[in-house]
Amino acid sequence: MGADPLLAEAEALYGLTLAEFTPARDARAKELKKDDAALSAAVKALRKPTLAAWVVNVLVRHETEQVEQVLDVGTALREAQASLDGEELRALTRQRRQLTAAVTTRARGVAAGLGVKVTEAVADQVEATLTAAMVDEGCAQAVRSGLLIAPLAATGVDEVDLGAAVATPDALGFAAAPAEAAPEVRPELHVVPDPDADAKAVAAAQERLDAAEAEVTEASAELAEASGAVEELEARSLQVQARIDELRRELAGLEEQAEEVDEELEEAESARDDAETVLAEAVSTRDAAAAALARLSP
């Protein structure tokens, strides 16, 4: 629990269900009003999270270890990208996709356990938020806080407006405490053998299974080859994008220098025009003086 009283209040509220959030927030603000009007107003101003943000907040509290794994892979991915380690980057990119998909599926399960159905559209926002936490360090801090009010999206290049995504600016650097796990009840499954099973049916089923396994093996090999090509191109794309960004920065600097040179050129041309005018006047004055002298000379 953080030392900031608002963070303490926010952590308790953002760990509730969406249906509980607003009534609990308003009741807590009313309770605080007598003793701390400023804190009461700050609690009252806390925004209700979107469904996708709430799912991520719940995931952070109920599946803390999985979230930490996501953030650890993200740290390694950013380090590999910074060092342009292509081989490691390809491996981590593959792991990132697998991990975010798996953790998103788990997030849907946690939400379902709390009575909330997560649609594909919301699941896409949850996965995008987890991906953002991997590619952007600030997004990782926002996710780990458990105080999201909106989903995140990040490319790893452009800066993300985190102020609009967390309940309070102090959320960055804060880590929500894991929720107490409720016991999960699983039904017992019993397999009863059928003594009258038809041996031919079993043999036919085994033959179909063998054929399906062969198709799976072939398809897996093709997928592995295609995935390898995609990962290599993704790594090259990141390298090219990094070079593009570098060239854009250089171009911006050159454009700024060009503007400065143009200004200096205008000033120099103006000074040259003034000098030409002064010279013309001086020549005219000299010629007039020479003519006057010639008339006075015998």
Indicate whether 229 belongs to any domain: no
pLDDT of 154 > 50? The answer is yes
Please give the residue that has the higher pLDDT: either 63 or 90: 63
Classify 166 as helix, strand or coil: strand
Domain count along the chain: 1
Which of 121, 167, 137, 144 has its CA nearest to residue 25? 167
Indicate whether 258 belongs to any domain: no
CB contact at 8 A, 116 and 17: yes
**pLDDT 10s digits, 270-282:** 889 888 898 999 9
Indicate whether 114 belongs to any domain: yes
Indicate whether 143 belongs to any domain: yes
Burial (CB < 10 A; 0-12, 13-18, 19+), residue 95, is middle
Indicate whether 196 belongs to any domain: no
Please state, in angstroms and rounded to a whole number, the distance separating the CA atoms of residues 150 and 167: 9
- Please tell me the predicted confidence (pLDDT) of residue 126: 96
Burial (CB < 10 A; 0-12, 13-18, 19+), residue 178, is middle
* Percentage helix, strand, coil for the chain under 3-state DSSP, each rounded to 5: 75, 0, 25
Burial (CB < 10 A; 0-12, 13-18, 19+), residue 11, is buried
Please state, in angstroms and rounded to a whole number, the distance separating the CA atoms of residues 284 and 188: 114
Of 22-36, 91-105, 162-176, minimum mean pLDDT range? 91-105
Q: Place 221 in a pLDDT band, splitting at 50, 70 and 90.
A: low
**pLDDT 10s digits, 2-51:** 468 999 999 999 999 999 999 999 999 999 999 999 999 999 999 999 99
Please give the residue that has the higher pLDDT: either 252 or 12: 12
Indicate whether 276 belongs to any domain: no
Burial (CB < 10 A; 0-12, 13-18, 19+), residue 165, is buried
- Please tell me the predicted confidence (pLDDT) of residue 239: 75
| Mean pLDDT computed over every residue of the chain | 83
Indicate whether 289 belongs to any domain: no
pLDDT of 182 > 60? The answer is no
Indicate whether 59 belongs to any domain: yes
- Please tell me the predicted confidence (pLDDT) of residue 194: 35
Domain that holds residue 70: 5-171
Q: Over pLDDT 90: what percentage of the chain?
A: 47
Classify 194 as helix, strand or coil: coil
